[in-house]
Each structure stands twice: as structure tokens, then as C-alpha cells.
Amino acid sequence: MTTAVRVRGLTKRYGDVQAVGGIDLDIRAGEVFAILGPNGAGKSTTVEILEGYRTRDTGEVSVLGIDPDKPTREWRSRLGIVLQTADDVAEATVRETVRHFAGYYPDAKDPDEVIEQVGLTDKAGKRIRQLSGGQRRRVDVALGVIGNPELLFLDEPTTGFDPEARRQFWELIGGLAHNGTTIVLTTHYLDEAEALADRVAVVAGGLIVAEGEPKTLGGRATAKAKVSWFDEGERRSLETDTPTRTVLELTRRFDGEVPELTVTRPSLEDVYLQLIEAPA
């Protein structure tokens, strides 16, 4: 499997502030890779360096085989970028806007096909200012993919979305990934990372503190399970490595039906909060 992004020893300072303190990173071609972290952790700086928007202090960076500090027009045409906030031409229609941006790329997709792909065919003749927030965000994605990018950066793509719009957006991103687009996603929504990402990296204090699949991050898959039930008017719980055995014992004790039984392992949110917690 080829590597779309390779980073070694990346650093960046702003005066006395160390924003990025030595990051190593590999993102495989065709995967959805999520970068998580609190505000000020260094994730936005890292992504902006990968996009070629910001220069680094030290380290080696390769994005689609090119150093972002030495970008070419051809390299930029292979990237798609969806910023957290984007300015648009409010009086232009969806179709006019997408067709206009298609003219910037040597191998652009068909604008009408892209509009259909993002679910805006019935809004193609509408002016941008007439769209809802979720629909405008779909326009942003259309502009990000119109150039037929090999690598798509998505920065907080569903901020402000209602639950239904977020689920629809997830389906859209899943479709892009299925078609082979490499996607780098930054998000504060942990359920979004869990739903979309093949792998995630957690950034804290300018460093990657954990990396892996969402289901195994931070030892999630092997963490003790918490078995909880109701007994004699109180909620009781037990952490155990053998939850099945515990449940069987409780089943025998309660003659079949254990009152309000739950079995859980640490959620991605639980693990994430532990990882970003500053040392005492």
C-alpha cells in the first residue's frame, strides 16, 4: 500500500510557543485518517503545513511525493481542501459556482455529476444565499472534489450541522472514500471520527500521543469491561477482564433476568480524554 503523506520530525514555533514539537506521521493512500486534539494542540498547524499554507521550521514532509514548501501547480491540482469556513459568491447559483471552479483544474470532474454526488441536483439553480447551512457545506465539498483530487483535506466539516445533516454528510464522505480518495479529517466530534476514520491520531501538546484504529486506540479493545446491574435498590458495577463469565454468574444469581444489566468498554471519548489530559 502506497503512502500519501509522510512526516518525520515536524516542528513549528510561534515565538516562544512550540506549536508542533516533533511529529512523525504516515497516511496510507485511500484511507480516511482523522486527526483529533483540543484547541491549541497543534493539529491545525500540522494540517496547514501539509496543505502548503504554512511553512515548517524543521522536519521532512512529503505529500503525494512533493514537499509542500515547494509546491507546483500540478501538485496543487491533485489536492482538495474544504476549510472550516469558506467565502462564497452568495448571488451565484450552485451550478455556476461549481462550473466556475471546475475551470481551475486540468482534470476536473463533470460539474453536474459532482452536484449530484453531493446531493444538490434539485438545488443546482438556487443561489448560494438561498441554501441552508448544511447545503452550503455540501457546496464546499463539491468545490473540494471538483478537481478530482487524490487527497482531500476536511477541516471540521460538520460544525453546526443538525444530526440528520451530519449523517447525510457522513454518507457522502464514505462514498468518496469508497471511490479511492484519501481523506484527512480534523474534527471535534468523536462519533464522527469513529464512524468515518480507518485510523486516528490524537495530538496534544504538539505531539502525537496515540495513533491507531478507533476501536483499538489507547488499548480500548483490551481494556476491562464494566458490568453494571441493579441490586437491592442500588446500582452496582464491576470492572472485569471476563465480562461473559460475570454475566453468567449474575444470570444464575438472578434466575435468568439481571435487573438493568449493562456491559460497556471505554468509549473513544473516554480514551481521548485520558490521552489529552495534562500530566499532574
Residues 57 and 125 in one domain: no
Looking at residues 95-120, what average pLDDT do you find? Answer: 92
What local confidence, expressed as pLDDT, does residue 26 receive? Answer: 96
User: Is the predicted pLDDT of residue 131 greater than 50, yes or no?
Assistant: yes
Rounded to the nearest angstrom, the gap between the alpha carbon of residue 41 and the centroid of all alpha carbons in its chain is: 15
In this structure, is residue 270 part of a structural domain? Answer: no
Grid cell locating 192: 464522527
Residues 235 and 140 in one domain: no
Distances from the Cα of 240 to the Cαs of 176, 226, 227, 257, 265, in angstroms? 40, 6, 8, 20, 10
Q: How many CA atoms lie within 13 A of 243 on its CB side?
A: 16
Domain count, the chain: 3
Same domain, 113 and 134: yes
Across 18-46, average pLDDT = 93
Q: Do 211 and 140 share a domain, yes or no?
A: no
- Look at residue 277 and tell me if it is in a domain: no
Check whether residue 204 and residue 234 sit in a common domain. no
Is 246 a domain residue?
A: yes
155/248 same-domain check: no
Whole-angstrom CA distances from 187 to 115, 125, 154, 226 are 24, 31, 9, 28
Residue 19 covered by a domain: yes
Q: What is the pLDDT of residues 233-272, one digit of tens each?
A: 899 998 888 889 999 999 998 988 999 999 887 888 888 8
pLDDT beyond 90 at 65: yes
pLDDT in the model for residue 279: 43
Residue 192 sits in the same domain as residue 54: yes
Which tens digit of pLDDT belongs to each residue from 74-84?
Answer: 999 999 998 87
One domain for residues 74 and 154: yes
Are 169 and 134 in contact, with CB atoms under 8 Å apart?
yes
Q: What is the pLDDT of residues 177-220, one digit of tens each?
A: 888 899 999 988 888 999 999 999 999 989 999 999 998 887 77
The answer as to whether 241 is a domain residue is: yes
pTM: 0.81
Are 104 and 7 part of one and the same domain?
A: no
In a domain, residue 52? The reply is: yes
- The answer on 92 and 7 residing in a single domain is no
Give the model's pLDDT for residue 75: 95
Domain check: are 55 and 186 in the same one?
Answer: yes
User: 18 in a domain, yes or no?
Assistant: yes
Domain that holds residue 10: 1-78+150-159+175-215
Q: Rg for the chain (alpha carbons), in Å?
A: 22
State the number of CA atoms in the 13 A half-sphere of 198 facing the CB.
17
Confidence at 1, pLDDT banded by 50, 70, 90: low
Kindly state whether residues 185 and 59 are assigned to the same domain: yes
Q: Please report whether residue 70 resides in a domain.
A: yes
In this structure, the chain runs to a length of 280
What band does 171 get if pLDDT is binned at 50, 70 and 90? confident
